[in-house]
Amino acid sequence: MNYKIITSALLAAGIATAAFAADGEFSLKGNVQTQATKMIADQDNNLSSFWIRANVGGQYKSDNFDGLVMLRIFAPQFGNYLSDGEKTSSYDKILADLYWANYKWTYGDHKYNLKIGHWKTDWSQSTHFGTYIDKALTARGLWMRDYSHNAIEFGWETGVSQFNAMVATRDNKFNSGYVRLEEDLNFNKVDFPLELKLAYRVNAIDNIQNTALLTHRFATYLSCNFSPAFRIYGEYANIHSQKGKIKNRPSNYLPPESSYLIPNRTYNPFYIGAEFSPKSGFLNALMSSLYIEWEHISDRQKIHNSKKEMDEWAWTAAWAKKVGKSKLQFSVYSGNEISDVGLAFRLTSTIK
């Protein structure tokens, strides 16, 4: 097989596509984010966590091609700590946060796309819980329920349906990874206040070169607007690891993504939330949105492998307000137990 010919053809196709998309627009993007958290039980620190970071990059948009590159920058105090055995020094941290290319085609009422790169999906759209299709059950993300993929994805949109099929890797040789399928039915497009999402993910790439147990993840998300200002939403998942144990683990044994994913074990996490978003009047001046959410995960203490008591239920209440180019977010949430209270604040200031 002549790989030079194949490489040249792919390069020519890329150049031609980029030239065809030359009628698009390029814009700079950037913001500065500040976040602080405090667990009331934490008496040893003024704050439980604190950071300031910058996000900067550029985005290109056209009818048939989109692209994005974003860097995330932390100062030394919030960056990397390196030790030479005698002295520990802090350094700036610059992350390649997002970089992807998205090719698009339209045929009649059908829209197709092929996306390649490193990007994030925010599947649950929650303030604190969810995204069980991707994230570990040990993770509670404060305003960050997104998950990063290194992937190739095919998308097909028609009517209220958006279908995506992804193949993703967790290493630089594609020896570990997963297949992810998602269907998003957004009936808001036809003026019916309902959105339903279904997803399936399995670590199928793990078993090609390695010996690994498969974990099947099924998840569903539902959002219903009872009025323009009030919405109920929630997510449920079934996470199951296949039966059977791997005895005398071979040299190519690949452990599961999380230690709690043991053979023939099933988890059924779920959360439910409500959002109030006043559109006018005095309440609109006070807030953009107010959220309340409850989550349940069975055997949370075992999942965390924690010696401390952990409740299976968790809660959060959150407030958000947009003011000009700034967005303020404040949360009150539970810690290991329902009675453990934490506070969090984030300010996002948009530059461009």
How does residue 319 score in pLDDT terms, banded at 50, 70 and 90? very high
Segment 167-185, tens digit of pLDDT: 999 999 999 999 999 999 9
Token reading at 163:
């279908």
- Kindly state the greatest CA–CA separation across the chain: 70
296 bridge partner residues:
270, 313
Q: Give the pLDDT confidence score for residue 350 in this predicted structure.
A: 95
Rounded-to-integer distance, Cα 118 and Cα 329, Å: 27
- List the domains of the chain with CATH numbers: 3-350 (2.40.160.10)
Rounded-to-integer distance, Cα 124 and Cα 142, Å: 13
pTM for this prediction: 0.87
Segment 34-63, tens digit of pLDDT: 999 999 988 899 999 999 999 999 999 999
Locate all alpha helices (DSSP H) within the chain, ordered by sequence: 3-20, 206-209, 281-286, 300-304
Task: Taking residues 262-283, report their average pLDDT.
Answer: 93
Rounded-to-integer distance, Cα 246 and Cα 203, Å: 16
Strand ranges (DSSP E) for the chain? 25-39, 49-61, 65-74, 80-83, 88-91, 93-107, 110-121, 147-158, 161-169, 177-186, 194-202, 215-227, 230-241, 266-267, 270-276, 289-296, 313-323, 326-334, 341-350
Residue type present at position 12: A
Task: Taking residues 68-77, report their average pLDDT.
Answer: 93
Segment 103-160, tens digit of pLDDT: 999 999 999 999 999 999 988 778 889 999 999 998 876 777 789 999 999 999 999 9
Phi, psi of 39 (to 5 degrees): -85, 130
Segment 200-213, tens digit of pLDDT: 999 999 989 988 88
Rounded-to-integer distance, Cα 98 and Cα 119, Å: 5
Q: What does the mean pLDDT of the chain come to?
A: 89
Higher pLDDT, 343 or 80: 343
